[in-house]
Amino acid sequence: MLPRPRLIALTAGAASATAFAPLDWWVAGLICFALLLRLTHEAPTLRQALLRGWLFGLGHFTVGNNWIQHAFTYQDRMPPVLGYFAVVLLALYLAVYPAIAMGLAWRFGRASALRRPGLPFVLIAGAAWIVTEYLRGVMFTGYPWNPLGVIWLPLPGVAQLAGWTGTYALSGLTVVVAGTLYLATLRSYRPLAGAAVAAGAAALLLNPAVTPPRPGAPLVRVLQPKIGQETTLDGTRAERSMLALTTLSNDRATMLPGGAVPRLIVWPEGAVDYWIEDGYPPEWYNRADPFVVRQRIAQTLGPKDVALVGGTGLLFGGDKQLDAATNSVFSIDAAARIHGRYDKAHLVPYGEYLPMRTILQPLGLSRLVMGDVDYAPGPGPATMEVPGFGKVGMQICYEIIFSGQTVDAANRPTILFNPSNDAWFGAWGPPQHLAQARMRAIEEGLPILRSTPTGISAIIDAHGGIVAAAGMNEARAIEAPMPAALPPTLFARLGNWAAWLVAGLLLLSAIAIRRFAR
């Protein structure tokens, strides 16, 4: 029995967060989760098992979400110190899910307090983790940040399993691998050997080969202007951002020799602080005429080029009063015409809208994104037909973290565009966000274009590999032939039913092993 199990659970949970980007210490993560399973099995009561799982989750999510505090430094309605409380309060809630997983493992996987743990306990823990991580992604609008399966990205062959099982199921299998380490400390080596063989086989058989772009593929160009959130507070963001992005869009020194090859040029989330659409009441045009704004963008385009530009839309009521705003992407051609618009569907609570506004606003709370009205959600994952470039799926900012919710299955795109603004999120948030976008590429078999103001922007192939990237706080445009899409993966066809299938197989395996042992 380990001494001070509660302190060990909290410490191990905090250390387990180092398995994710930017550190990627995945071995340390497996060791910490092995320790969690030991603490769970040694718990004398269900209540103690739940408490140990909760303390582990508290440490895990506090460290893993430390970047959220950084966002509070870029608004003037609440003191930045509230950011530290926000991180801990969020972790207090998120820790409930590991607690439930460990409670289920203790209740249904721990055969006897006198017996050593066996493989059924580990398999049930893996199944429970799949269920609770899925619930974390859907309950109360969902927050599946840093799913455990993402730690395998440094091992591309293992990470490709997400294309078969999805990320949630891969997270449960990761718990099983950690459990085999725990069993090995009890001199039960066969499960560990089996896990090592399975991981080795995946690494060899699924290790992705580079898929070349199709012949004659158009070019894609991703812009990163290095415009931080501090410019929002000093009022210079709108024009500085426009100048930086139009310069990068037309920077000949960073263009590939293509002649008449069309380019799809993508701008970050919210890059244009001027209105882009026409049709608003005249008093709203006091900053700049929308047509002039589009002309400035169009002047950087070749005759066959198209720009996907992040901006803000406005929604007015019948009395011409502003009702809401939209976080949008506009498709603009060389003639300054708008060909399409996508509105972000999965909005960030407390970021883009304030839940229970009538209660929380009088208490002095506000949303982090500036403005006097909340954002309104769009209809959901959508595919935009972009002339000359085919079908482009849209996922703005953290919409990309929701496994199984990123693609319109009825109108499958050939590439995904993920504009974001990670300038809010310090040193840990951007690489974690990028890692989760790479997992979506693997799951769906689709390349992703990711553009942010300060990094990390990237062109990601359909295997989750980085074709080109602009690093943190680097002003740069990156350009490459459009990566090819793969045929729909098994996960793309099944969605998160794959997670439930794997959870069921783990549970049935645990039952079969236990009955066979009798």
Question: Known catalytic residues?
Answer: 269, 344, 397
CB atoms within 10 A of CB 441: 28
Q: How far is CA 390 from the centre of its chain?
A: 24
As beta bridge partners, residue 341 has 330
Which secondary structure element, helix H or strand E, spans residue 477, and what is its range? Answer: strand 476-481
Helix (H, G, I), strand (E, B) or coil at 345: coil
CB atoms within 10 A of CB 495: 16
d(CA 83, CA 456): 23
Q: How many CA atoms within 13 Å lie on the side-chain side of 44?
A: 4
Provide DSSP, 434-454. HHHHHHHHHHHT--EEEE-SS
d(CA 126, CA 110): 13
d(CA 262, CA 302): 7
Among 71, 58, 144, 67, smallest CA distance to 350 is for 71
Tokens 């993402």, located at residue: 150
d(CA 176, CA 420): 34
d(CA 266, CA 270): 12
